[in-house]
Structure 1
């Protein structure tokens, strides 16, 4: 059994606690947060032990992996302290707010024989495994083009101040508006794309603050971009467009077009998202043909969305995983479990080291609207 400790008990920590039960090989030794009231509420709800300080976490020999769930601007400092203390680290995205700092962490982990791994874990989902198997089996031929959407809807117009996690943590809306939705969310798309198509050779992006008014209490804040769109050119030859925003209607889909057909993953945040497969030239479904006929008859586009092709069935599974409620149906602890398994076997988990830095580079380039940015060697 591998001992893990949480550093940070904010909103996302409850997602990790919800999915911890899926991985009995991991044991949570305790948690720490600089906000004592928040830590106490979290510990009381989940019945876990509290550490008095970060130093106490790092001094505990029972802790093999430090799980860094702090805010993005604290990631580098906490990651570095944990690595220097001889702990493996699993970090929420991004590894750091600067590529040089992320590279420093990767080198430090390598020098000390430690595993530094990063979120998100949605690319370890059953949906990802099914999509990857379709690509490997040549279902759509050679993949050429991908469209990844990471639109969260106009959350700043919702009652986000009232949103709470299971243990009572407030959704950090103000902080997310300051950091920018791309740093928070684009990794969910990038992790899928990199794991399916390999390293990115170049990123060209545009980012903007399109809605500077996020409501009362945000007027004096320095807000980050709430929209970004980027073109990723992969060394494998695939080209992908990635969008991320806080205004357009919610859409977390991935469309992959090959020279023989198309795969559509409806929701990158759903562990078993419906996946649709369509071969070019195949007879369209009855639903599609009926809809086309009706639209021709009425002379207008109807407010309906049908996904091209047929749904692909999932293999049967032995047990159902515990997952957070929609829309975050991700096994958040799955990444830590994969890391722990790799450490035990002496192997390298995919989303660790240079790959984790590569994802950080991509997300930073998208967030900063970089033109012709070439990530470092992977």
Structure 2
């Protein structure tokens, strides 16, 4: 049994609680939040112990892993305090808001002999494993080019002020717009990209605030970019384009082009996303039919057909319990992997130098770095 404690009981904490049910060897023994009202509601809803302060959490000898679910500007200070207290740490993205701070955390964790891991956990999904298996089998030949989309749609135009989590936490829209689309969402694609293709060598990026008016709740807030595009070159030669945004229609797909075919993952937020494999770039029968109709009509039809064959998941693979659409991610999977690594003395993939590398790439895209050489690197073994 591995004991964990939450720091932060806001909106995302409910996603973790929903997927905690998947792992009976993980036990949440308490939580703390600087918002005492929110802490009281969360702990009452889930029948969880509430700590009086951060110091009490860090001095609890029963806590094995501190799960940092605070807002990004608090990540570094909470992570450092936990490591200083000789606690293993699992942190929501990003690890820190500067590469220097992230390096310090990883170095300190190595010195203390504790493991620091980072979210998101969607690259531990059934969909990721199925995709990687197809690539390793050589189904599309050598991968060369990837298009990754992380568009969340124009959420600022929705009625987000009334959105509530399972236990009643409000969705922190104004703060999300202040943090920006890249820090909030690029990690969901980067975990896949780095997990599939290893470390990134160069980044060229651009970011912009394209919709500066996001409602009265944000009038006194300094808003971050709501659009970014990063072109990544990997050490193994793969080239990828990652687009993030808060305005274009929702699209969380990934298209992987190889020398002999392509793979399309329809939704990186779906643990068992539909995945299409197309060999030799052939068109399906129905795609040929639709292409013929469109040629005769002289216009595109208002729907999309995916090329190739939709892959099947192993029938023996049990589907975990997940949050409702669109966040169908097993959020606790990363903590489970960390717990297993602690027990076995191994190093989980999304920890240490890997999460530091991902943080550097993430911050480079967020800052719109041009022709940026990524300094950090890791031994690729996933």
Number of residue pairs aligned between Structure 1 and Structure 2: 377
SS of equivalent residue, structure 1 residue 204: strand
Query: Equivalent residue for 1:320?
Result: 319
What TM-score, normalized by structure 2, do the two folds share?
A: 0.98
Query: Equivalent residue for 2:354?
Result: 355
Query: Equivalent residue for 2:274?
Result: 274
Query: Equivalent residue for 1:196?
Result: 196
1:106 aligns with 2:106: yes
CA-to-aligned-CA distance 1:303-331 (integer Å, 9 cap, x gap): 11011111011111353311000000000
Compared with structure 1, are the counterparts of its residues 70 and 281 closer, same or farther at alpha carbon in structure 2 (3 Å cutoff)? closer
In 2: Cα distance, 1:78 partner to 1:317 partner:
40
In the TM superposition, 1:115-134 aligns within 5 A as 115-134=115-134
Compared with structure 1, are the counterparts of its residues 259 and 119 closer, same or farther at alpha carbon in structure 2 (3 Å cutoff)? same
Compared with structure 1, are the counterparts of its residues 197 and 70 closer, same or farther at alpha carbon in structure 2 (3 Å cutoff)? same
SS of equivalent residue, structure 1 residue 217: helix
1:307 aligns with 2:306: yes
CA-to-aligned-CA distance 1:11-58 (integer Å, 9 cap, x gap): 000000000010111111110000000001111111111111110000
In 1: Cα distance, 2:24 partner to 2:374 partner:
37
Query: Equivalent residue for 2:41?
Result: 41
CA-to-aligned-CA distance 1:277-303 (integer Å, 9 cap, x gap): 001154x32211111111112111111
Moved more, 284-293 or 149-158: 284-293
In 2: Cα distance, 1:219 partner to 1:257 partner:
43
In the TM superposition, 1:1-378 aligns within 5 A as 1-280=1-280, 282=282, 284-317=283-316, 319-378=318-377
Displacement over 2 Å in runs of 4+? 317-320
Unaligned runs of 5+ in 1: none
In 2: Cα distance, 1:141 partner to 1:304 partner:
29
In 1: Cα distance, 2:53 partner to 2:319 partner:
36
Whether the 8 Å contact between 2:356 and 2:376 is mirrored in structure 1 is no
SS of equivalent residue, structure 2 residue 61: coil
CA-to-aligned-CA distance 1:215-245 (integer Å, 9 cap, x gap): 1121221100000001000001000000000
Compared with structure 1, are the counterparts of its residues 4 and 143 closer, same or farther at alpha carbon in structure 2 (3 Å cutoff)? same
Moved more, 313-322 or 117-126: 313-322
CA-to-aligned-CA distance 1:244-286 (integer Å, 9 cap, x gap): 000000000000000000000000000000000001154x322
Cα root mean square deviation, aligned: 0.8
